[in-house]
Structure 1
Amino acid sequence: MKSEEAQRWASSLDAVVVYAQGALCTRVARGTLPASGRVRVTGLPRSMDPDSLRAKVVGGTGVRVIEVRVEVDAEPSGTDAAGSLRQEMERLRDVYDAAQARRDRQLSRIAGVAELRPVPPTRKREDPPRRTPADAWLQLADFVDERLRGLHGQLVELEEELSRVEHELSMATDRWARASTDVQPGQVATTVGAMLTLDGSGAVELELEYGVPGAVWVPAYRLTHRQGDDSGTLVLRASVAQRTGEDWAGVRIALATADLRRRTELPKLRSIRVGRRQPALAPSGWREPPAGLADLFSAYDAAGPRPAAGAGPAAGAGPGAGAGPAAGAGPAAGAGPAAGAGPGAGAGPMAVAGSAGGAALPPPAPGGYGMAPAEPSGFATPAAEFDGAMPHMPPPTRSGRPAGGGSPAAAKRAAAPAAMAPMVPAAPGQAAPPPAPPVEAGPPQPSGTELDYASLVLSGADEPEGRRGRLFPHTPYDPVAIEYRRRADAVSALPLPGHAVRPRESAGSFDHRFDAVARADIPSDGTWHTVTVTEIPVGLRTEYLCVPSEEQTVYATLVLSNATGQALLAGPVEVTVDDDFLLTAALPTLAPGGVRRMGLGPAEGIKVTRRTNLRESTAGLRNNTTVLAHQVHVELANRLAKAVTVEVHEQVPVTSEPDVRIEERADWTTPEQDSGPDRHAPGTRLWRVNLPAGSTAALDGGYEIRVPAAKALVGGNRRS
């Protein structure tokens, strides 16, 4: 049954999962299954990956999917929205060029009139001086002024018209650039459908899942906080851009940090044994062709020759070029080890197009799978370059039988090419080359491409005799689809919003998925669109931080704690405090149960001052120790209308010299060291002070550095 006889079902996009790059779309189609069981579901995008198409029946109706494949059709589009936008843009560009030309001509007229000057006649030497006609000069000046006044008025009108046309042209260009790629340009639209074969009857609901490139997303947040509360609301939003070729209208959106193109097959772990017993060979996946495969097409051959679809035989073909299975389809050109006929196939030697005298190549080795197709040029490997060695041949076992359990007859057929291999003549003055080594017997060992069962295609009756009825890798080349995918991948180069980080960079070694609470609309225009995903409760507390030894400024920070089971990725966050927008900051990656600090900028209501004092003295029995006593005095003033907690950081010197001792004389504390991004530097000391509203506090501390009297600190004894 042809595809045109299948019943057409319309489909609608229901859900989309956007990954770090690419998306996985789910379409839904409903209908009553016809008696033939053949259904064509339409509406798939042109940029889809055909290998990712999956179909299933929703609900326990007893109907199952037997086969699903992709088909591409072309039909008149009726309307060309993208073409009309381009035509409008080109029309406005012509109007703009005409308006600019009129403006330039007006400027040249103004320049010509402005250059009008009175030129007195040339006076000869014997002529007496002439009286200057002042009235004529004034009349000329009045004429120039009046003429320029009119020309400048027209110039103003032309410039206003040019500005208006330029604005319209920029708007039309922007509309054309941002037009959705869901509408294909041109009068012919290419439609992609899924041809399904179902087993069953009755009403059926189908779900089709397929992957598309050209979709990216980055996280964004909006944080709402009330002063005095220890909690807040963090709204997770996402900036999504897609150019997949179809508009996502009213779909369920989910965001994932995983890589859609990463393979997820589990590796095969093989055991290693020590001893004389050798491990059994792993199954290769190769099977002997069934007996009588050539007789399957005897009735087809008896019907007579088919009319040629293209030109006649290639010029220069040997006598057997037209009678063989496929001229120029030798093993090196794509027949491969599996291209030969099995027992009873009746495949003779394959002729090479253009070879002298129609030199015959040996038949390919038997096998159930073939090599990759021939090159587009259609030329086979010359006979002089074929040395008789068959690819993928394992060595024989000690018993002389082929490895893998092949039959002796198969071994003889595999060794036949060695005897039929042509000899390469030696160059003049050189010894004849040694004969080719004998071919090692054994069944063909297919490569990974030949064992990719999803890409294998059964060759039909019109294929050469050595290929028909066998499975061969098939990679269709569709330049239109490749161009659509190339355009779709252009969204990966979009500039990111401020403080945005790509999910794979911030996710690290874990992957998470975030499901949006409501459906969303995202057109296929390749620009960023904001989608609200969900609300996340977080723990918040406001703390103030200062390092007066570096800068006498107090900074406000928010300490966030993630008590949920999902990680919060790095991205921009809009902070709103008491319904007033404060700033847009960068939220760091926050793992489940993690605590991180986020800066909010300087706090002008809290002042800090720091003073230091150094006293140098000697100690010891013979004054052989220099004592450097550093005193630190820090004053804090809270001018806010609320109580605050200020964390003051100080730095104590750290030494690795055994002769140098450091003694601390303060009530500060040593922070706990961790391996996170908030890790403190060695020697950091902390003061945590609670300041009521309008109060002040003084902090005193210090340390002593004891060094031998004969030594001095690098950079001077004064450390602060």
Structure 2
Amino acid sequence: MEATGTADRWGSTLDSVVVYAQGALCRRLAAGRVPQDGRIRVTGLPRSLDPASLRAHVTGAAGVRVTEARVETEAEPAGAGPPEGLRGEVERLRDAHAAALARRDRQAALIEEVSALRPVPPVPRRGDPPRRTPVDAWLELSAFTDERLTRLHARLAELEDALRDAGHELAVAGDRLARASTDAPAAHVATTVSAVLTLDGAEGRPEVGIELEYGVPGAVWAPAYRLTHRQGEDGGRLVLRASVAQRTGEDWTGVRVALATADLGRRTDLPRLRSVRIGRSQPAPAPSGWREPPPGLAGLFTGYDAAGPRPAAAPVAVPASAGALPPPPPPPPPPAPLGYGAAPAGLPQPGGVFGAAPEAFKSAPAPAQAAPSPRARSAAGRPGAPAAPAPPGGPVPSAPPPPSAQPPAGPPRPSDTELDYAALVLSGADAPSGRRGRLFPGASGDAVAAEHRRRAEAVASLPLPAHAVPPRVSAGSFDHRFDAAARADIPSDGTWHTVTVGEIAVGLRTEYLCVPSVEQTVYATLVLSNATDQALLAGPVEVTVDDEFLLTAALPTLPPGGVRRVGLGRAEGIRVTRRTSLHESAAGLRNTTTVLDHRVHVELANRLPGPVTVEIRERVPVTSEADVRIQERGDWTAPGHGADSGPPVPGTRVWRAELRAGGTAVFDGGYEIRFPAGKSLAGGNRRS
């Protein structure tokens, strides 16, 4: 079979991306002529992709199908030339910073040397008379030292300023590099991630199209809106935008973007409840993908063992200047035998041809030790020969394990790693006896790719914009998808980018709301009604009225057909005044009933240039006692389920007024409370 590295290389183009609540599903397109062996290598995939999510199928060619799809990674030196772009700038500034630091250190060392200058008198000899102190020489040395240190300290201040500037430039360049796109290759290493495909039925076709689909972590999004409205109109323009951040390792340039609220990693398989039968007749177990090793596997290596030990490799001469080579790493210890019980005679351990036994079956008792091979017997007969190695699983236990350690009944159930047949490696003759001629999972996952995925997943902790809500939270138990109208560019830099999805037709009207019993202020609101079949998720909305930006508010989740109210702040052009009065009296034959008569007077004045609709809300007390009666007086009404979320508060009453420009309105209402005089609270106030 031809090696994988000789497969034809096809370039690919990223066509569309579906961004989920966390992660994204990318779709690449490639086209070309299929070679005779049907093997092709599609390049351009990101390093952070999930290899298990790769899907490939043929487009535009009936009868051609993909029989194998694998992910392979190639790494090679990027070349001896200097790096370009931000990375080269960072390396240059790092070298400049190191040089400035070295100059500063040398200057500091020179200052220490000059500061250490001291006059040293000669050692007097025995019998010599005392010498006079050379004061002039001491003064000259002191003047020389002061002058020299002055110049050196001035130079040191200049070098410290240069070092500070170099450090600042290096920090700025490092921050720019950290915020730059991760689509660029790593320093000095060029990595190519490819999808190796095998096609069947493409002989004689001039060109075949391939569509690749794979999932990547490191992509998040949050909805945002822009609302444009003109006063006096019943509609408006609501533009759905999305704040998208991704650090997948590839720049999304000119791609079709779709946004989904679903979880990319959520399981979709349905649970299966297996039946329990009583009796001897049981249903046949489902195939588990594992089978016993073929008979005679142990005798396959008899000739290899009879040939004796392999000759030792000739020592390699190492020059003295090159240093000694490091010793080779010790071989890994042989694994414990994996079996499900005592093996039948003539058969090797029943660990399975396709992978080792599952974890649940590794506690089974080890089989009896096999007879030593001829090579081992010949080695044991020589004087000074080492002792025969112990069996891989150690000494056979004399007593059976406790019942809890026995393997469960039924066929073995290998793990997903053991069922990945393409990743299994056939153990050779040099492997321990328990692994010879059997398939085992190869080396564990790529550590570098795991690091790329870990860095990509860090985008999930990015702080959300103001008033933004994660789509999984606002969508609730339903999943929605929004397709962008135009292609977009989103670099892989891990920062928020705004993508315009499209315009949504919404019903819009302006209403003014006032609760004068709490605050004598009128507030302007926009009432939005969703007339589409898609929900509007919660998020920030930028409100523009008459081409003037007002504010950024928080839009709640608006289901299809739902109505919500968005506050715009105070309406200074509408004045409201509220006055109340209370009259208390007694009624009944013996004045046994207390009557509280509440009267409410509200005045409105419109100072805006156009007509307005104002809703005034009042509150009437409610009671659950039979001997307390409340009688209302007024033309107000009880509100229904309107634009406010949830049912209305009990006792709420509403006045609605249509005011023209410069118009006024007056509303009078009230209620009367009758309760037994004996229920009055002495010293309390139950009248207001």
TM-score with structure 1 length normalisation?
0.73
Partners of 2:683 and 2:89 lie apart in 1 by 70
Alignment partner, residue 260 of structure 2? 256
Q: Give yes or no for contact 2:599–2:671 (8 Å, CA) kept in 1.
A: yes
User: For residues 698-719 of structure 1, what are the alpha-carbon distances to aligned partners after superposition, in whole Å with 9 as ceiling and x for unaligned?
Assistant: 1111112222111236994455
User: How much has 1:162 moved relative to structure 2?
Assistant: 10
What is the CA-CA distance between 1:666 and the residue it aligns to? Answer: 1.5
Give the letter aligned to residue 445 of structure 1.
Answer: P
CA-CA distance at 1:489 after TM superposition: 1.2
Match of 1:178 in 2: 179
Verify: 1:520 aligned to 2:510, yes or no.
no
Q: Which position in structure 2 is the counterpart of 1:554?
A: 522
Partners of 1:160 and 1:311 in 2: how far apart?
Answer: 51
In structure 1, the partner of 2:356 is: 370
Equivalent residue letter for 1:554: V
Matches within 5 A, 1:337-416: 337=340, 347-348=347-348, 363-364=349-350, 370-371=356-357
State the secondary structure of the residue aligned to 2:262. coil
Q: Distance in 1 between the 2:271 and 2:250 partners?
A: 36
Aligned equivalents of 1:389 and 1:290: distance in 2? 15
SS in 2 for 1:33: coil
Q: Distance in 2 between matches of 1:100 and 1:599?
A: 61
Q: SS at 1:370's partner residue?
A: coil
Matches within 5 A, 1:324-343: 328-331=334-337, 335=338, 337=340
Q: Whole-Å Cα distance in 1 between the matches of residues 516 and 683 of structure 2?
A: 21
> Is residue 51 of structure 2 the alignment partner of residue 33 of structure 1?
no
Residues in 1 aligned to 2:212 and 2:221: alpha-carbon distance in whole angstroms = 23
Give the structure 2 partner of residue 289 of structure 1: 292
For 2:306 and 2:26, locate their aligned partners in 1 and report how far apart those are by CA, in whole Å.
Answer: 46
Matches of residues 450-489 of structure 1 in structure 2 within 5 Å? 450=416, 453=419, 457-462=423-428, 476-489=444-457
Cα deviation for residue 72 of structure 1 reads 1.0
The structure 1 residue matched to 2:631, chosen from 660, 663, 667, is 663
- The aligned counterpart of 2:88 is 84
Kindly provide the CA deviation profile for residues 316-347 of structure 1, in whole angstroms up to 9, marking residues without a partner as x: xxxxxxxxxx963224xxx3549x98x89x55
Would you say 1:449 and 2:450 are equivalent positions? no
Tell me, yes or no, if the aligned pair for 1:80 and 1:183 is still in contact at 8 Å: no
DSSP-derived class of the 1:710 partner? helix
**CA drift at 1:283:** 2.6
Cα distance change of structure 1 residues 287 and 682 upon mapping to structure 2, 3 Å threshold: same
Amino acid across the alignment from 2:335? A
Query: Which residue number corresponds to residue 242 of structure 1?
Result: 246
Q: Does the CA contact (< 8 Å) of 2:245 and 2:459 recur in 1?
A: yes
Q: Is the 8 A contact 2:243 2:496 kept in 1?
A: yes
In 1, distance between residues paired with 2:280 and 2:594? 77
Offset at residue 475 of structure 1 (A): 7.8
AA in 1 matched with 2:398 = M
Unmatched segments (≥5 aa) in structure 2: 109-154, 314-326, 369-394
Residues 367 and 444, structure 1, Cα contact 8 Å, conserved in 2: no
Map of 1:354 onto structure 2:
none
Whether the 8 Å CA contact 1:337–1:444 is kept in 2: the answer is no
- Paired amino acid for 2:256: R
User: Residue 213 of structure 1 corresponds to which residue in structure 2?
Assistant: 217
Counterpart of 2:228 in structure 1 is 224
Structure 1 residue matching 2:535: 3-state secondary structure? coil
1:710 matches 2:678: yes
* C-alpha spacing 1:92/1:588, structure 2 compared with 1 (3 Å): farther
| Secondary structure at the counterpart of residue 426 of structure 2 | coil
Aligned to 1:615: 583
Aligned partner (choices 570, 579, 586) of residue 554 of structure 2? 586
Residues in 2 aligned to 1:571 and 1:603: alpha-carbon distance in whole angstroms: 24
**Structure 2: distance between partners of 1:300 and 1:252:** 62
Inter-CA distance 663–471: structure 2 relative to 1 (3 Å threshold): farther
For the residue of structure 2 that corresponds to 1:665, the secondary structure is: strand
Task: Measure how far apart 1:219 and its partner are.
Answer: 0.7
SS in 1 for 2:460: helix
**In structure 2, how many angstroms separate the alpha carbons of the residues matched to 1:278 and 1:663?**
78
Task: Assess if the C-alpha contact under 8 Å between 1:300 and 1:461 holds in 2.
Answer: no
The answer for the alignment partner of 1:627 in structure 2 is 595
Superposed CA offset, 1:384-415 (max 9, x none): x975699xxxxxxxxxxxxxxxxxxxxxxxxx
Inter-CA distance 676–188: structure 2 relative to 1 (3 Å threshold): same
Q: Which whole-Å deviations, capped at 9, do the CAs of 1:402-446 have from their partners, x for residues lacking one?
A: xxxxxxxxxxxxxxxxxx95236xxxxxxxxx9856998986533
Q: Indicate conservation of the 8 Å contact 1:548/1:649, yes or no.
A: yes
Residue 686 of structure 1 corresponds to 654
CA 1:536–1:719 in structure 2 vs 1: closer, same or farther (change >3 Å)?
farther
Gaps of 5+ in 1: 105-153, 315-325, 349-362, 375-379, 391-419, 425-433
CA distance in 1, matches of 2:312, 2:682: 92
What is aligned with 1:701?
669
- SS in structure 2 at match of 1:180: coil
Instruction: Note if contact 1:459-1:467 (Cα within 8 Å) is conserved in structure 2.
Output: no
Looking at structure 2, the residues matched to 286 and 327 of structure 1 have their Cα atoms a distance apart, in angstroms, of: 28
| Change in CA separation of 1:247 and 1:441 when aligned onto 2, cut-off 3 Å | closer
- For the 8 Å contact 1:39–1:197, the answer to whether it is kept is yes
**Residue in 2 that maps onto 1:69:** 70
User: More deviation in 184-193 or 595-604?
Assistant: 184-193
- 1:496 counterpart letter in structure 2: L
Distance 1:611-1:282 versus aligned 2 partners, 3 A rule: farther
- CA distance change for structure 1 residues 172 and 437 in 2, over 3 Å: closer, same or farther? closer
Listed one character per residue, the Cα deviations across residues 562-602 of structure 1 (whole Å, up to 9, x for unaligned) are 11111111111111112222211111111111111111111
Distance 1:650 1:198 in 2: 75
Instruction: Decide whether aligned partners of structure 1 residues 51 and 552 sit closer, same or farther in structure 2, where only a CA change above 3 A counts.
Output: same
Q: Offset of 1:235 from its aligned partner?
A: 0.7
Letter in 2 for 1:43: G
**Partner amino acid, structure 2, of 1:549:** S
Which range moved further: 576-585 or 504-513?
576-585
Taking the aligned partners of 1:293 and 1:198, their CA distance within structure 2 comes to: 36
- CA shift, 1:451, in A, is 8.9
Could you tell me how far apart the structure 1 residues matched to 2:193 and 2:357 are? 29
Contact 2:352–2:438, Cα closer than 8 Å, also in 1: no
Q: What per-residue deviation string (whole Å, max 9, x for no partner) do you get for residues 122-141 of structure 1?
A: xxxxxxxxxxxxxxxxxxxx
Question: By how many angstroms is 1:531 displaced?
Answer: 0.7
| CA 1:437–1:662: 2 relative to 1, 3 Å | closer
Any idea what the Cα deviations from partners look like across 1:13-56, whole Å, max 9, x if unmatched? Answer: 11111111011111111110011111111111111111111111
Q: Give the distance between the partners of 1:230 and 1:452, measured in 2 at CA.
A: 64
Preserved CA contact (<8 Å) 2:353 2:439: no
> Following TM superposition, by how much is the alpha carbon of 1:190 offset from its aligned partner in structure 2, in angstroms?
2.1
Deviation at 1:672, TM superposition (A): 2.2
Which whole-Å CA distance do the structure 2 matches of 1:183 and 1:530 have between them?
A: 22
Offset from partner CA, 1:513-532 (integer Å, 9 cap, x none)? 11111111111111111111
- Cα-to-partner distance string for 1:475-504 (whole Å, 9 max, x where unaligned): 833221111111111111111111111101
Q: Is the 8 A contact 1:26 1:208 kept in 2?
A: yes
1:163–1:74 Cα change, 3 Å: closer
Contact conserved, 1:370 with 1:471, CA < 8 A, in 2?
yes
Greater Cα shift, 441-450 or 687-696: 441-450
Aligned residue-pair number: 593
**Separation (CA, whole Å) in 2 of partners of 1:284 and 1:714:** 84
Once the two structures are superposed, the pairs formed by residues 273-288 of structure 1 within 5 Å of their partners are 280=283, 283=286, 285=288, 288=291
SS in 2 for 1:646: strand
Matched residue of 1:186: which SS? Answer: coil
Deviation larger for 522-531 or 623-632: 623-632
